[in-house]
């Protein structure tokens, strides 16, 4: 790159317009001394005329002495119809390297295993997902290892995600990508642990709920998975109708969940485990074990009670607490054998009260120290009669008040809730910190997208009021009047042909 020393690198990318909510258009790039590619998502600048500007965005600060910039198109199927073309690269001299102090390491990054319809297909792809987080305020990676008992590693307890799908239907390629690694004797979970620790990060194995999908969209599910093979273990509605969610009211379901996470904790270099419990609701509804428990305690039929009857919530919570108590006991036993202590994290609903409706008794989880990390999340599936579903600062304060002095850490999600509208992410982060948050969760690798480079610095609490100045320096639009002598004037140029 005809330069030496530390330098910030800006990329100037044409065709930066994104398709829908997810950042499909991207550039894959790395420095020549690296073995994995990073993804750079060009900023989509609102108010700019489509295809008439070059999107300039900050990538990273690095020592570029004697190094080349390597660019590669993304050949994976999900990205074949997207385009992002690098027009030029700008460097700027700086006094020293970018630093990421330990005290700013406050971010949690969640990976759900579905990378735009793909999974990781090589150790280099694992590294491309996790290694860039070393250049951020991230401290913890939540890496999805299974959806129910359909697993993304060579399990003996559950079922390995099958190598099949419906061609052309998202996310068709996940099983194929996984089996490319397994056929070479590579273990994606073992590789994720290695890369995370090399980057100075903690890593938790993440368990996510799964349900059936209507044809033709079949989310990857092993045909012998418990959800498919045991409909007798599904949740039941008021009229006894089956609902396609495994119920925690059944000991077999709880045991399978604990066995899976115990297998992972016992065989991999993990720091903890995680339940993604803001999806896949309900956890317990009106199954026979729940009805029997409610009748023993109250002598009533809960199916006739209003949604707001907290007695129903408390009985539900008994089954969920049983899961966490048994999990903690099992992990402690494995930890003694392996000479380490495993932490437990759980993504909960947007406030303690709405969590309680679904059976997540936050106060009890904290009081019994069954969890170490709570991650409040927008409650997308809350019945309207139960109030606000968004994650608001005052709700974060409710969690912080419950956790005060317990050692339980609170990391509200700051990056997923599309309902937040146009509120700047940095302002939302500042409000959450002021409400008592210990850090923030950024969903699905958001800290490493060029679309908002300041996200990587959201652990720098003292600098949040400088976010607008940082963004103004890091992102700008460069208008283009013509390309190869062809006018881009929207009234008279090539755009008038449609």
Give pLDDT tens digits for 175-197: 999 999 999 999 999 999 999 99
Check residues 42 and 264 and name the one with the higher pLDDT. Answer: 264
Q: Please give the mean pLDDT across all residues of the chain.
A: 89
Evaluate whether 330 touches 322 at the Cβ level (below 8 Å): no
pLDDT of residue 125: 95
Give the bridge partners for 118, in sequence order: 115
Pairing of strands 159-160, 242-246: unpaired
**Region 422-429: what's the mean pLDDT?**
83
pLDDT of residue 467: 86
Beta strands in 123-171 (DSSP E): 138-147, 150-151, 159-160
pLDDT of residue 98: 84
Q: Taking the CA of residue 175 as centre, how many other CA atoms within 13 Å lie in the half-sphere pointing to its CB?
A: 19
Closest to 350 measured CA to CA, from 260, 414, 304 = 414
* Residue appearing with tokens 């406050």: 106
**Region 241-249: what's the mean pLDDT?**
97
**Region 379-384: what's the mean pLDDT?**
92
Give pLDDT tens digits for 306-334: 999 999 999 999 999 999 999 999 999 99
pTM over 0.85: yes
Report whether pLDDT(211) > 80. yes
Give Cβ neighbours of residue 57 (< 8 Å, ≥ 6 apart).
10, 11, 13, 40, 42, 43, 450, 451, 453, 474, 475
Angle at 352 between CA 312 and CA 385, to 5 degrees: 60
Q: How far apart are the C-alpha atoms of 465 and 66, rounded to whole Å?
A: 36
Give pLDDT tens digits for 9-29: 877 676 544 445 456 677 889
CA dihedral 188, 189, 194, 196 (to 10 degrees): 110
pLDDT of residue 46: 67
Give Cβ neighbours of residue 253 (< 8 Å, ≥ 6 apart).
226, 233, 246, 247
pLDDT of residue 18: 47
Report whether pLDDT(203) > 90. yes
pLDDT band at 478 (very low <50, low <70, confident <90, very high): confident
Give Cβ neighbours of residue 201 (< 8 Å, ≥ 6 apart).
130, 133, 134, 138, 139, 140, 141
Write the DSSP symbol of residue 200. T
Q: How far apart are the C-alpha atoms of 139 and 109, rounded to whole Å?
A: 8
Among the residue ranges 65-79, 311-325, 456-470, 483-497, the one predicted with the least confidence is 483-497
pLDDT of residue 16: 43
């Amino acid at each position: 790159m005809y330069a030496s020393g530390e330098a910030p690198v800006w990329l100037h990318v044409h065709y930066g317009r994104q398709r829908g909510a997810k950042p499909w258009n991207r550039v894959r790039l790395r420095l020549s001394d690296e073995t994995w590619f990073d993804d750079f998502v060009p900023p989509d600048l609102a108010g700019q005329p489509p295809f008439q500007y070059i999107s300039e965005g900050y990538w990273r600060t690095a020592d570029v002495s004697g190094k080349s910039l390597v660019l590669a198109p993304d050949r994976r199927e999900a990205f074949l119809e997207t385009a992002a073309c690098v027009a030029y690269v700008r460097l700027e001299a700086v006094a020293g390297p970018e630093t990421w102090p330990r005290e700013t390491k406050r971010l949690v990054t969640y990976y759900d295993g579905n990378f735009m319809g793909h999974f990781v297909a090589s150790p280099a792809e694992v590294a491309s997902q996790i290694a860039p987080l070393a250049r951020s305020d991230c401290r913890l990676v939540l890496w999805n290892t299974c959806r129910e008992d359909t697993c993304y590693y060579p399990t003996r307890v559950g079922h390995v995600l099958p190598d099949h799908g419906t061609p052309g239907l998202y996310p068709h390629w996940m099983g194929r990508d996984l089996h490319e690694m397994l056929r070479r004797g590579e273990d994606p979970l073992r590789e994720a642990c290695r890369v995370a620790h090399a980057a100075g990060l903690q890593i938790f194995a993440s368990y996510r709920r799964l349900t059936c999908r209507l044809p033709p969209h079949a989310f990857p599910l092993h045909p012998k998975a418990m959800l498919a093979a045991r409909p007798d273990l599904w949740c039941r509605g008021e009229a006894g109708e089956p609902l396609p969610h495994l119920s925690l009211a059944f000991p077999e379901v709880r045991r399978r969940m604990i066995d899976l996470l115990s297998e992972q904790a016992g065989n991999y270099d993990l720091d903890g485990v995680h339940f993604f419990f803001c999806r896949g609701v309900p956890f317990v509804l009106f199954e026979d074990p729940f009805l029997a428990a409610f009748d023993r305690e109250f002598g009533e039929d809960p199916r006739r009670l209003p949604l707001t009857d907290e007695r129903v919530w408390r009985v539900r919570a008994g089954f969920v607490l049983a899961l966490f108590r048994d999990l903690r006991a099992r992990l402690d036993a494995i930890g003694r054998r392996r000479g380490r202590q495993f932490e437990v994290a759980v993504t909960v609903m947007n406030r303690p009260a709405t969590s309680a409706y679904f059976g997540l008794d936050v106060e009890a989880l904290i009081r019994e120290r069954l969890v170490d990390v709570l991650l409040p999340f927008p409650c997308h599936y809350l019945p309207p009669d139960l109030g606000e579903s968004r994650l608001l600062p005052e709700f974060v304060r409710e969690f912080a008040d419950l956790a005060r002095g317990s050692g339980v850490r609170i990391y509200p999600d700051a990056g997923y809730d599309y309902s937040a509208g146009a509120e700047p992410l940095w302002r939302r982060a500042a409000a959450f910190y002021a409400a008592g948050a210990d850090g923030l969760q950024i969903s699905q690798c958001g800290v490493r997208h060029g679309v908002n480079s300041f996200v990587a610095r959201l652990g720098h609490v003292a600098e949040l009021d400088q976010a607008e100045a940082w963004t103004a320096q890091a992102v700008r639009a460069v208008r283009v009047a013509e390309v190869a002598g062809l006018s881009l004037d929207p009234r008279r140029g090539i755009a008038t042909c449609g």
